[in-house]
Amino acid sequence: MEASRRRAVPVSELRASDADRERVARLLSEAMADGRLTLAEHGERIDRVHAARTLGELTGLTTDLATAESQPILVDDRPLLATFGSLRRGGRWVVPVRLPLLALFGTVELDLREAILQRRHVVIDARVLCGRVRLLVPEGVRVDVSGRTILTSRGVRVRPGDGDGVPTVEVSGTLVFGSVRARAPRVTWRRRVGDRLRRPR
């Protein structure tokens, strides 16, 4: 209980992993190869990549090399807005503790397969009017739709893990004349066969 009361670490101050550094270094190498960075600029930024401890330090190294959608890591806790259109967020990005979302005659698609959850329980605060919310979550993550729904369809087909500490994505808020869908990636036939062979008899 005491831990749950602690203030969440700001998204930009979350610790970076070796895989995060590798993603940024890969983009820097591509930028040097096609002439967007000189050899000296590449060396300077690579040194900063290896010295970076937080995600915020890493994201500042590639903002001038790719669009926001193409960044190797996305650290952005601003509300998501889709009005009369669609908005998609995927790849390596941070899901804040509470993520406001508005879908007004629009669709918001959130791919969480490579995302970092700021906490094990995050809340998508959705305001939907004649819109759609689509979630793609990795295996082991639970999705709960707790928001008020009015003439809204819902479909949750995920494979959550067992126990009390399962990572959870909660969809709260108000959804009117809309739909919310959550699914896990399809399991290939090879995976199914392998799982069956590994089951104890």
Query: 145-155 pLDDT, tens per residue?
Result: 999 999 999 99
Of 68, 54, 66, whose CA–CA distance to 20 is shortest?
54
Q: Which tokens is 52 given?
A: 């970076």
Q: pLDDT band at residue 90, thresholds of 50, 70 and 90?
A: very high
Segment (H or E) for 144: strand 142-145
- pLDDT tens, residue by residue, 18-68: 999 999 999 999 999 999 999 999 999 999 999 999 999 999 899 999 988
Of 51, 53, 45, whose CA–CA distance to 29 is shortest?
45
The predicted structure's pLDDT at residue 158: 95
Q: What is the DSSP string of 103-127?
A: EESSEEEEE-TT-EESSSEEEEEEE
